[in-house]
Amino acid sequence: MQLQSMFAENYRSLRSIRMDLTGVNLFIGENGVGKSNLYRALQLVQAATRGTLAREIAEEGGMSSALWSGRRRADKPARIRLETELLDEERAITFRYRIEAGLRPPKAAAGFAYEPQVKEEELTVETGRRPVTMMKRVGPGIFVRGERGRMEDYPEQALTSETAISLLGDAGHYPEVGTFRRAVEQWRFFHGFRTDRDSPLRLPCLAVTAPMLDETGVNMAAVFATLRHTREDTVDLDRAIADAFGGAYLDVPEPGQFAEFSLVFPDFPNRPFSPRELSDGQMRFLALAAALLSYRRPRFIALNEPETSLHPDMLPALADMIASASRESQIWIVTHSERLAQEVRQRSGIRPRRVIRKDSATWIDGMRLTGLMDDDE
């Protein structure tokens, strides 16, 4: 399923913003304009499906930090509102999910002071007619469409910090809820990769078949081994590494208990270089290659400033990998690099969206309130 649009309101620098999305979504802007908040809003939708929304917001400072930092109307409750719209292209079904979270009322006994209190949730599906509500949550009460097609009370009430989408997904009786949840859980957000001496990227990993890269990169060696020895197709990977590293190639031996790899450079054909010997930029490029060229591509891949630590000569190879991945995955890129943006545009035909500050809030230059760009047909 492809992410068709997103909406975020009252989250950090996002006062109220709606965007229609495409196969490749490229965002460029200066520091401090809120590029990462757009990306983070989608992560919170995924956290809601996983049942980890409260923890995710607590880890970024709690609701007092997550709420819109500007002026708010006194007659409206202080709530973060997030919405996503996904299209199942094969079945022509549109899924829309909305969640609203706010602060604990001053005299309420339930929940802790700084954790999010889930106020409302709703999941609807549309097949060409009017939208049909499959799940609705108001406060602790959950209503769900049962086997007979009627809305029914769900027997279990949700805690204030729990999400209904995760509770119902675990129940296993509601196929539409399960379908939406599985689709969102497969998204991958690669915010950055550790490249220090003790980084998991530099260590051997257990030899377990790895169709996708973990967001921490801990299974990178297994991803390469899976491509080399299970899929037996590393054409795109070999081309990317040769282009980025002047003709080098990746040596991936048949795994035993652990999966390992090394790089072999043309100037030193008999001297493989282990991950501990490679530079931060080289390791980061290899991690991006594992993320974008894995055996099974995630349906949605988000990259936050992927150009960090990369030599400028590596950017064309990175743009090639993004173009290759976009044939199967929806791509979201946040970057500072004008050159990377230009390289991606040449390969995808997508104009970068420039993120700006408008009236103290994050906005997209040239975007209408409807979410369309000025030059959209």
Tens digit of pLDDT at every position of the chain (377 positions): 899 999 999 999 999 999 999 999 999 999 889 999 999 999 999 999 999 999 999 998 899 899 997 877 777 778 999 999 999 988 899 999 999 999 877 656 566 777 889 999 999 999 887 899 999 999 999 999 988 889 999 998 999 999 999 999 776 689 999 999 999 999 999 988 999 999 999 999 999 999 999 999 999 999 999 999 999 999 999 999 999 999 999 999 999 999 999 999 999 999 999 999 999 999 999 999 999 999 999 999 999 999 999 999 999 999 999 999 999 999 999 999 999 999 999 999 999 999 999 999 999 999 887 777 766 54
Angle between helices 175-185 and 164-171 (to 10 degrees): 110
CATH of the domain at 71: 3.40.50
Q: 324 lies in which domain range? A: 195-346
Number of domains comprising the chain = 2
Residues 183 and 287 in one domain: no
Could you give the 3-state DSSP secondary structure of residue 263?
Answer: strand
Residues 181 and 213 in one domain: no
What's this model's pTM, rounded to 2 decimal places? Answer: 0.91
Complete edge-to-edge strand list for the sheet that includes strand 132-138: 14-20, 2-11, 79-88, 93-102, 117-126, 132-138, 141-145, 151-153
Going by C-alpha positions, the residue among 99, 295, 118 that lies closest to residue 180 is 99
Residues 211 and 287 in one domain: yes
The tens digit of pLDDT for each residue in 105-152 reads: 765 656 677 788 999 999 999 988 789 999 999 999 999 998 888 999
373 is a domain residue: no
